[in-house]
Chain A
Amino acid sequence: MAEWTLSGALNRALLDAMDEDPRLLVFGEDVGRLGGVFRVTDGLQEKFGEDRVFDTPVAEAGIVGAAIGLALTGWKSVVEMQFDGFSYPAFEQIVSHVAKYRNRTRGRVDLPIVIRIPSFGGIRGKEHHGESPETYFAHTAGLKVVAPSGALDGYRLLRLAIDDPDPVVFLEPKARYWAKEEGELSSDDPRLGEARVVRDGDAAVVFTYGAMLTRCLDAAESLEGEGISTRVVDLRSLAPLDVPLIGRCARETGRVVVVHEAPKTLGLGGEVAARVMEEAFDHLQAPVARVTGWDVPYPPAALEAVYLPSVDRIADAIRRVTSY
């Protein structure tokens, strides 16, 4: 069985997609000769040439804006924002144009653009290198927002994102780039927009995504000894949310925890909690618990552990909802 890192699997997804579609381009800062600061585009320029894989000036708005123009001329783009905190110069292009072009043109113009953003914390990064920007994008109608948690899903979701006719903001958990996963790469999932039950259980359900998945699984594992059987769901698609699956899991367990790195207020946890209320109110045995980053700027490396949801915090929340 093959072993893949997330970085390697994403690299392979780009390679396979470019192989299949000669009108697919990859561009951004340092994605060419260097292969990207996280090596996700490693070797692509060598294989596909500078015409299809190219470095750009440091100009995030220009990169995304150019991808729109390229789409108008029939070119598909996967662009890289080097870090979450550097995606903000492109925010206007993403929110005012990428998200709205289909609507504005009454469906005449697809923007099949994938905006890859190495995201979230946990890598002892400097300021601006540990942001969780998902709410900004998920709150914008017209965008799909996806966050893989590991290598196999990373491959699958990136292939699906590239094939999708709509623009996709693809948030890659930096903390998981080098984590290994065993299995075969495949993109045979039906479509974007579906969450996945990663671990079964019936006492409580934990909804999470990105790098927090492994911590949630660790917490669930540690609670087995206490006789608490915890289901863990990787949301994967943050926009649209898989509301039917969220509702079903909430109804079946009656106890819900949401976990994410992003700050609590108006984080995705709030939306998931509201959906749980709408879909499963009569089944709820406890208030929905949220385990999140705090409502503070992402802290420096020495204080990262204070900010990020820990296995202990997650386990405590599961105990809380199951003993309510």
Chain B
Amino acid sequence: MDAPAHWAGTEPVRILEADGTVVGDADVGLSPEQLRELYRHMVRARRLDRECMALQRQGELTVYPPFEGQEAAQVGSAFALGDEDWAFPTFRELAAALVRGVDPAQYLAYHRGTWHGGPYDPRATRFGPICVPVATQICHAVGVAIGLRKDGSDACALAYFGDGSASEGDFHEGANLAAVFQAPAILFCQNNGWAISVPTGLQTAGEIWRRADGLGFPGVRVDGNDVLAVYHVTTEAVRRARAGDGPTLIEALTYRLGPHTTADDASRYRDEEEVERWRAFDPIDRYGAWLLASRHADDAFVRAVDDDATAWVSEVRAGVTSSDPPPAEWVFDWTFAETPPELARQREEALGG
């Protein structure tokens, strides 16, 4: 099978081949129940992602950025974090949010257009607000990591970003700060081949994971469609962070099967043939095949997961579509801790006395 262009170069860490054949050590320290949970998360995530595409077409969501194809990268990495650890998403990390326990209806309030950022509590969930200016959230994660260390905590902070974000200044500033302060930060790049229409080859002439070397900390390239490999390398990064050994850069090679967002027409810049070729690398099929072959699960489990996902997605859908529109005063609330007199006047002008 032809490797996609942005997978060229260094072989990534891989445990499962595309067909589920084991090529590494599949014992990554997870119990059978946890192994099955990984699968359940990925299936739920994909089903919700597809539901969101449908909800957008039905006018229930505003523009939506699908993550289909990236389930293993997100689920495997988020699953490696502990309760006290933090994660900072971009705008495509719904699967990671689900693993972290973020209420999907609250998360999707962002895409429904009822509130910015995701109105879930970033402190309670330890999941940063949805972040659109790419790479800026890396600096926030590094700040959290520095803060955690000052408090003597052994928790860490993981920042998600993409191959496009890796070109931003904030990636370099954040990564360098993390290195200099030995911050317990994990920089997790999902290289999905495309920054909207620009392929990774036009984004960088090198390999993203190698940048860590120049910054003075370890980098690793992993098959981002292999959930066991992703879990494995992230767990190692978490271990280093907890031990006080500083940051790790992970480049997870994956592929965005869908458009950049529902507002994007991917046919203008890539062939459907390429996308179809990629379906052979599907992370869920791969992991499912291994689960069955390794007898950690059986057909009945797969069917049960599927049924569970159907019921769960329908619940989420109901939660999202039944949510009340936000009250008008929310436009004015929370700009400042205490509304300044001038803003209070504007509020009155807009809303009446």
Contacts and interface: CB of A to CB of B under 8 A. Distances in A.
Interface of A: 51, 56-57, 59-75, 89, 92-93, 96-97, 100-110, 141-142, 144, 164-166, 193, 240-241, 243-244
Interface residues of B, number: 44
B142 A59 contact: no
Nearest to A243: B342
Contacts of A100: 116
Contacts of B145: 69
Return the 5 tightest CB-CB contacts between A and B, nearest first: A69-B143, A65-B139, A73-B147, A62-B173, A66-B143
A46 to B, nearest CB: 19
A4 B256 CA distance: 61
A193 B123 CA distance: 30
Contact of B136 (A57, A65, A103, A105): A65
21 contacts: A57-B177, A61-B170, A68-B140, A69-B140, A69-B145, A69-B146, A69-B147, A72-B144, A73-B147, A74-B151, A92-B136, A93-B136, A97-B133, A104-B116, A105-B117, A105-B334, A106-B330, A108-B121, A109-B122, A240-B341, A243-B342
Given A65-B174, A105-B129, A73 B151 contact: yes
Interface of B is mostly: helix
B119 A106 contact: yes
Contacts of A51: 150
Given A103-B116, A142-B336, A93 B177 contact: no
Contact of A70 (B122, B133, B144, B336): B144
B3 interface: no
Given A57-B177, A93-B170, 15 more contacts: A51-B150, A59-B173, A60-B173, A65-B143, A65-B170, A65-B174, A66-B146, A73-B143, A73-B148, A102-B337, A104-B129, A105-B121, A105-B122, A164-B337, A240-B343
A74 B147 contact: yes
Contacts of B333: 106-107
B180 A57 contact: yes
Interface string B318-352: 00000000000010011111001111000000000
A105 B146 contact: no
A165 B339 CA distance: 12
B278 interface: no
B4 interface: no
A137 B101 CA distance: 36
Given A62-B173, A73-B148, A241-B342, A92 B141 contact: no
Given A103-B334, A240-B343, A75 B147 contact: yes
